[in-house]
Amino acid sequence: MTKKTAYVSKLPDETGNIIWTDEENAIWSELITRQLACIEGKACDEYMHGLHKLNLPKDRVPQLGEVNEVLQAETGWQCYPVPALIGFGEFFKLLSEKKFPVATFIRTREELDYLQEPDIFHEIFGHCPLLTNPSFANYTQAYGKMGLQASHEQRVFLARLYWFTIEFGLLDTPQGIKLYGGGILSSPGETDYALNNEQVERQPFNILDVLRTPYRIDIMQPIYYMIPELAYLDEIRQFEVEEIMELVAKAQMLGLYPAKYPAKEAS
């Protein structure tokens, strides 16, 4: 989370608003229009309900205050502006305080389809609709509290829990597989890949398996973990921190599963 980035977050002015350029607003408009069409019938119902509540503008980047007004009324959460990349300690602290970190920059047109660091489109469109849902919101806060009590080595394993739920989680519903992970919901390529690629593994969620599964951030995911419903996150949240850390210790002892992707080439 502390690697270098080419992007610089914008600072709010004295009114709390961020001044976006015409080009940045146009990029937001293009991204949201494209992704709304892409996720139709594929996102979980809870996400779509949250998206309706947020009523995000289609012609400009939303102001964080607009989003916060809805989030605070629904679950007590708020978006919190941060630099493009922050450390694990700050990340966990913010989540534990019901503050969702949002890097206040938007990708360039050259990286419209993919960028490694999360921008405001990924954070607002991908994650904020589900922060109106108590199960998702409470799980996210509990994850933050968990991370605050973990050592550096434990946090490396806990990162996989976040990755395979909040970022790249799937629901296995009676109506078929639905999306709830923000990394999928904000990406047209990942949306199609997660649902339709025949080589992808889609496994039932098991915490120990998740903690032992390596991942790369710069490729399409070779494996996804599925929960039966969003309320299942309440069951994970109800684990005591000590129980989660015992599972982390077991995962450390057993070691990681073999990676399902090639090693990253040295740059």
256 phi/psi in degrees, rounded to 5: -75, 150
What is the bridge-based pairing of β-strands 170-173 and 223-227? parallel
What are 140's two structure tokens?
């996210």
Q: How far apart are CA 9 and CA 30, in angstroms?
A: 20
Binding site for Fe cation: residue ranges?
122, 127, 167
What is the bridge-based pairing of β-strands 170-173 and 176-179? antiparallel
Binding site: residue ranges?
122, 127, 167
Helix ranges, the chain (H): 22-39, 45-54, 64-74, 88-96, 120-121, 134-148, 152-162, 182-185, 188-196, 207-211, 232-237, 241-254
Looking at residue 12, the DSSP 8-state letter turns out to be P
Q: How far apart are CA 115 and CA 121, in angstroms?
A: 11
Kindly state the helix (H) or strand (E) to which residue 172 belongs, with its residue range. strand 170-173
Q: How far apart are CA 13 and CA 19, in angstroms?
A: 8
